[in-house]
A and B are shown apart, each in its own frame.
Chain A
Amino acid sequence: MVNGRNIYKPIMASLTDVIDESPLIKTFVLVPENGFSFKTGQFIELSVDGIGEAPFTPSSSPLITEKLEVTVMKTGYVTECMHKLKPGVFMGIRGPFGRGYPIESFYGKEVLILGGGCGLAPIRSLLYALEGIKDKLIKVTLCYGSKTPADCIYKPLFDRLNKTEKFEAFRTVDKADEGWDGSVGVVTTLLNRIKYDITKSIAVVCGPPIMMKFGTIRLLEMGYKDEQIYLSMEKNMSCGLGKCGHCMMGEFFVCKDGPVFTYNELKNTPDIWK
């Protein structure tokens, strides 16, 4: 951050497209003034003029700087207002903030990604980044669970990944509907069907807290070591600057020290899944 810059002032980004992903989830395509770069797993504070701002990890490729995609689930007041926005308006962006995925340390590894619900948004950005370094990876496996087939976002992503060398993707749903002939059950059930050399593997977990908790427990049971598991934590990251205190989790400001942590870093911190 350049000295003298006002850390609270957002830059302006033009909203150029709004993509419906599921009944509750939309992707906002933004063109920030003067470009914008981030590392995969870092987050931004996205604001609606006069309404409020909220933290999101971009779902687009970190290799693209002229535009940015942010996938937003309608959850509270600010995201409800976001969902009403039409292309043509300006939104505010602060960031990027925090520590993303250390993808250089994934070189020579098998990457297992466990995702749930809207957690697929940051994972999509990670997948783009991993595609860019696939020559340096052994393989990448995505296991993703959503509540119902309709709640699954980025459906074309799965076919594309399964056609990409070194990548494979599996889906499951908690509750099937008539058209669904795939796996039913929580996301950890997908782990039974994959083969991994744990000594050469790292795992990434991103999703709702309950899924992160049981996903981590399952990975530990499988033999993953604490430092092999990367978690993308979700807290009330209000300022993004390590100052406002809302996202404090033990000794960590999730916004500045995270949001990506290894389980080893967090295992002694109480209430991490709340």
Chain B
Amino acid sequence: MQYKSIKKEEWDNTLENLLLSYAIFAGIPNDASQDYEELRAVDIPKIIYNKPKPATSLKSFFLPVKENVTSENVVKERIIIGIPNCDIEALSILDEIYLDEDFPDINYRERRNNTILISTDCIGIQEHCHCLTYDIMPFSTNTADLAVIFLNGTMILRIITGKGEGFLSTVFPAAIALEDEDILSVIEKEHHATETLLSSANKGLPDYKKTGNLVSGANADMWKRHSARCVSCGACTTICPTCTCFLLIDKPGFEKVKQMDACQYPGFERVAGGGDGLFELPNRFRNRYMCKYVWKPGKFRSTACTGCGRCIEACIGKINKNEIFMELAK
């Protein structure tokens, strides 16, 4: 892949100029960790590079919590910086669902078209990161437009798409081709070190396919036991970068508001006649795992869990899906 480099000072100055024509979002530190925030000029030096990961996922940029889908939604040109690859890979399944040939969602498509995605390579891991277990690398080579690595005062940019290449040559004309083998080898070493950390932290955790087999073979007692601590708050699905379920709410004038929903909420599958296949908590709890590891893999090309670990962090019942999978794998 082609790399270019630019001095950090120049990168920061250009971002400041870009604020005039783009809405720019980036991972910014907060009291707890970091999250995607809309940038002001004073935030530019605070942007976090190389480090996983914003507390919330990328999906709300493309699937707002609530939107009127019958009116025209104009989206300003946007740049999002510092996206870890778990979030980038999650866009693949969102694209499959929302840009399918039969029923493309024009609001989603507008947002995708109007956004430049600048990923960042993860150097190091967070407690629950497990992307590599599901064959997702901690750095982007697909779907993002560019990937950025901050090394020794220099921003190094990997060019991934034609859109990224065009953007880079237009707004960063000073970026120069990087062919220094030493720097490229440092990047490769950092990738390797992160992969080693991920492998070691997730030793024994079954891979994506094996997880699917374990989940579909798990017995009712197992689901009952592990769901006992679930309060059906939906935090896991809300924070998940690949969960996309929603409700359509009717408003006067035949307008429709689309609001994110969660299969973990009671009544998700209820029909007017009273039938509800997910009425029982263990069934609802199981549904999320079956959806991510068994059903969606049978239906879509893209992965329905990218191993970001946010659902583990968000769970107020301290349910750790990876501990469940390790138990099943015993």
Q: Which A residues contact B (CB, under 8 angstroms)? A: 1, 3-10, 12, 47-54, 75-79, 92, 208-209, 234-236, 238-239, 241-248, 250-252, 256, 271, 274
Contacts and interface: CB of A to CB of B under 8 A. Distances in A.
Contacts of A247: 269
A70 to B, nearest CB: 15
Given A1-B103, A8-B69, A239 B246 contact: yes
A113 B15 CA distance: 67
Contact of B250 (A47, A79, A250): A47
A243 B70 contact: no
A236 B271 contact: yes
Q: Which of A5, A6, A8, A238 has the most C-beta atoms of chain B within 10 angstroms of its own C-beta? A: A8
Nearest to B262: A245
Interface string B28-40: 0000000000000
B245 A242 contact: no
B277 A241 contact: no
Contacts of B276: 274
Interface stretch (B16-24, B156-164, B251-259, B318-326): B251-259
A175 B254 CA distance: 42
A8 B256 contact: yes
A209 B277 CA distance: 11
A53 B273 CA distance: 15
Contact of A245 (B244, B272, B275): B244
Given A10-B254, A242-B100, A76 B69 contact: no
A244 B295 contact: no
B256 A274 contact: no
B173 interface: no
Given A50-B253, A250-B295, A8 B271 contact: no
B253 A76 contact: no
Contacts of B251: 50
A236 B102 CA distance: 20
A256 B101 CA distance: 12
B275 A274 contact: yes
B271 to A, nearest CB: 5
Interface in B82-111: 97-98, 100, 102-106
Given A243-B246, A248-B295, A256-B102, 8 more contacts: A7-B104, A77-B272, A242-B100, A243-B97, A244-B246, A250-B290, A271-B283, A274-B276
A244 to B, nearest CB: 5
A251 B245 contact: no
Contacts of B291: 245, 248
A246 B268 contact: yes
Given A47-B250, A50-B250, A79-B272, A244 B245 contact: yes
Q: Which 3 A-B pairs have the closest CB atoms?
A: A76-B272, A245-B245, A50-B252
B52 to A, nearest CB: 27
B178 interface: no
A54 B271 CA distance: 10
B270 interface: yes
B103 A251 contact: no
A250 B216 CA distance: 11
Given A242-B103, A251-B298, A236 B270 contact: yes
B314 interface: no
Interface in B273-311: 273, 275-277, 283, 290-291, 295, 298-299
B168 interface: no
B243 to A, nearest CB: 8
B248 interface: yes
B247 interface: yes
